[in-house]
Chains A and B, each alone.
Chain A
Amino acid sequence: MPSRPGLDPRTKIIAVIAVSAAVMSAGGGRFIAAGLLLAVGLAVWERAWRRAVVLPLFVGASAALAFWVPLVRPHPALGAVATGSFLGLRFAVALGVGMHLIATTSPTQLSAAFRAWRIPRGITVSTSVMLRFLPLVATEATAVLDAMRLRGLTGLRAMLRHPILAIERFTVPLIASSLRVGEDLAASAMLRGLGSPHRPTSMTPPRFGGRDATFALVVAALAAGSVLLSPGPA
């Protein structure tokens, strides 16, 4: 979690939903620049320098493929690439804001935010478990891929010749090791009261504050600017 104080988790969740809805909707192209600014600003705020650099580069490259290349060299194949790139850059912007939520919100903070919204416990517990379990699976997947590399099982030729076998060789050890890790995590969490009938409390209950108000104003200004400066729906 970041060392500097951050936004209320609920603010971050609303931001992710709002940005995703804006950029993915029909005519959402006008919000891409604003969404990108927001995502980069959040990355800088949490000092995620790599994301702050990579995200605009990716969005810039995708935008070039989506808007500039078809103008310079019209071709049906490039048209398909342009359409894919346009969709990709919308996803990238939404993902950029989502990554801030994931990187700066612990499972317990997320649970507290959901409880404050009176979301049913079944959803709260399962979401926080998923948020904790997914990084563990990612770690296991990296380790399995490393082991496959050393056994010469990741070559492109072998994967093309026997794609099902390649998938099986990746997924079977991944499932086995993830289950083992997940079992320990679940056992420990249940012994420490996760999902118990007790009414959970929070060491730092979620609370909207000045930062959240400022953030809301910035988002509103970016949205208004996008609408006013846009010549029309993209």
Chain B
Amino acid sequence: MISIDGTGWTYANAEEPSLTDVTLCVTPGEFVVLCGASGSGKSTALRLMNGLIPHFHEGTLTGAVQVDGLKTATARLDELGLRTGTVLQHPRRQFFTDSAGEEVAFALENFGYEPAVVHARVDAALTALAACLPVAARLRLLSGGQQQQVALAAASAHEPDILLLDEPSSNLDADAVQRLTASLALLKARGMTIVVAEHRLRYLRGILDRVVVMREGRTEVQWSAQQFRALPDEDLAREGLRGEARPVDLPELAAAGGSVADPATKGGPSTGALQLADIRCRLAGRTVLDLDHVAFAAGTVTAIRGANGAGKSTLARVVTGLQSCPGNVRLDGRKLSRRARQRASAIVMQDVQRQLFTDSVDAEVRLAAARNDIDVDQALRELDLTRFADRHPLSLSGGQQQRLVIAAARISRRRIVVFDEPSSGVDQRHLQSISDQIRQVAHEGAVVLLISHDEDLLALAADAQLTLRPL
């Protein structure tokens, strides 16, 4: 079904090839997991299979790739699109419409299916989706897991022979991962050939047929399903892979209010450097955050957990002064205005490219240190960024960019630091590094709030948790 023979690929303007020697043969109906550390070439290998390489991305291709009888180098992209369905890592970025029905119909309409067929397939997809999401809701308002289900339905509506998924579990909580596993099992049972690029593997253990490990652009090791099931987590960690996700058991912060999820923890006012009282935040005519009181201690990392729509991001925006809202926010006993909260806060966004403002790493660090008495050269050395000092921040890898933004947050010496899903799509080694940096920020005395679904990260980095619930 898929045949890749000694293939290499170098992106235009890249110094090093992304793929050096990929050899892979996938048989019809097989479920193959491509895994490996960040940068090993998993996502690039998927692009070989759906034809984005060489038709969408520019670069140099060597070797041959054949998909469902078509040579990808000479076939048209839409011919390959008819035979493959692709789910990207961030489903919300691939949606072309704002409703589940239209999104499922999108490929069918573009490929010229008769309206009656489109209706029938969309109706069937929506009936299946209705079990786990409100099908009439706008896509942007759905949770990450629900968006993933819609993306899966949209990618498979034209009934391709092959389904390709790029790190589908990276932004999902445990329940959503379970739903994803069930959906993939159903598609496999229908005879679809499935290739998944992933860091986390254990959730696929019941349905995968083969695991292919990639290292530095090569397909190196293969495990059969039986061999994989017998592997201990330590062996996976050596490959930079995530093992069994263990539920984290963090102490719940004492808090009260309609948004607080766990009634057992509702108690009297607690103490802490950052105190919130009588927060009632309404957006678009709806109350999205209701907190009578909660306090976050300095020097500790507090995980903010809860389902999508529970108010996690709103809480972060209120705390950092980006969202106006009735109520009191006090830091070290002093009531802070919105402006004062903005001056006291830093945030590390999921997409750190939005936070790189200057033309060099050195300038970025100097900008962050502007009002502080900091030796920037020494700070660069401490953060292991000296060798990149003259590089443009946007020319760094994703992990390096994230390190730079965290460094800027540390150097700015803000008392409140918020991390928003910092481990999306990172492997085991980078997970440890990110956790260390979050710990370091807290160790330097900041109040650290960590918004994350990633139980592996929470287990490593968080000291306590506040669980919110949708109102």
Contacts and interface: CB of A to CB of B under 8 A. Distances in A.
A190 B158 CA distance: 14
A149 B357 CA distance: 12
Interface in B138-165: 154-155, 158
A146 B359 CA distance: 20
Contacts of A205: 115
A193 interface: yes
Contacts of A180: 351, 353
Interface stretch (A17-25, A26-34, A168-176): A168-176
Interface stretch (A36-44, A66-74, A196-204, A215-223): A196-204
B124 to A, nearest CB: 13
Contact of A146 (B101, B322, B356, B367): B322
A24 B238 CA distance: 68
Nearest to B55: A190
A191 B163 CA distance: 12
Contact of A192 (B56, B93, B110, B115): B110
Interface stretch (B83-91, B219-227, B250-258, B329-337): B83-91
B105 A203 contact: yes
Instruction: From B76, B349, B359, name the one whose CB has the most chain A CB atoms within 10 angstroms.
Output: B349
B320 interface: yes
Contact of B90 (A146, A150, A184, A194): A184
Given A177-B351, A190-B56, A191-B77, A148 B357 contact: yes
B44 to A, nearest CB: 13
Given A146-B322, A150-B346, A198-B110, A190 B115 contact: no
A146 to B, nearest CB: 5
B78 A193 contact: yes
Contacts of B115: 201-205
A174 B354 CA distance: 6
B280 interface: no
Which residue, of A169, A185, A194, A201, has the highest number of chain B Cβ atoms within 10 A? A201
Interface string B314-341: 0001001110000000000000000000
A191 B356 contact: no
A140 B408 CA distance: 20
B357 A153 contact: yes
How many residues of B sit at the interface, in one of the four size bands? 35 or more
A181 interface: yes
B412 A192 contact: no
A174 B346 CA distance: 19
Interface residues of A, number: 49
A201 B357 contact: no
Nearest to A199: B112
B86 A188 contact: yes
A174 B77 CA distance: 29
Contacts of A176: 353-354, 356, 394
A187 interface: yes
Contact of A203 (B96, B119, B345): B119
Contact of B118 (A152, A153, A195, A203): A203
Given A3-B136, A143-B354, A151-B357, A191 B52 contact: yes
A206 to B, nearest CB: 12
Interface of B: 50-52, 56, 76-78, 80-82, 84, 86, 88, 90, 93-94, 96-99, 101-102, 105-115, 118-119, 122, 136, 154-155, 158, 317, 320-322, 342-343, 345-347, 349, 351, 353-359, 367-368, 370, 394, 408, 412
16 contacts: A106-B97, A108-B102, A151-B367, A151-B408, A173-B353, A174-B354, A176-B356, A180-B351, A191-B51, A191-B52, A191-B81, A197-B78, A198-B111, A201-B113, A201-B115, A203-B122
Given A177-B353, A191-B81, 9 more contacts: A106-B98, A144-B354, A147-B347, A149-B342, A172-B394, A188-B88, A190-B81, A198-B112, A203-B109
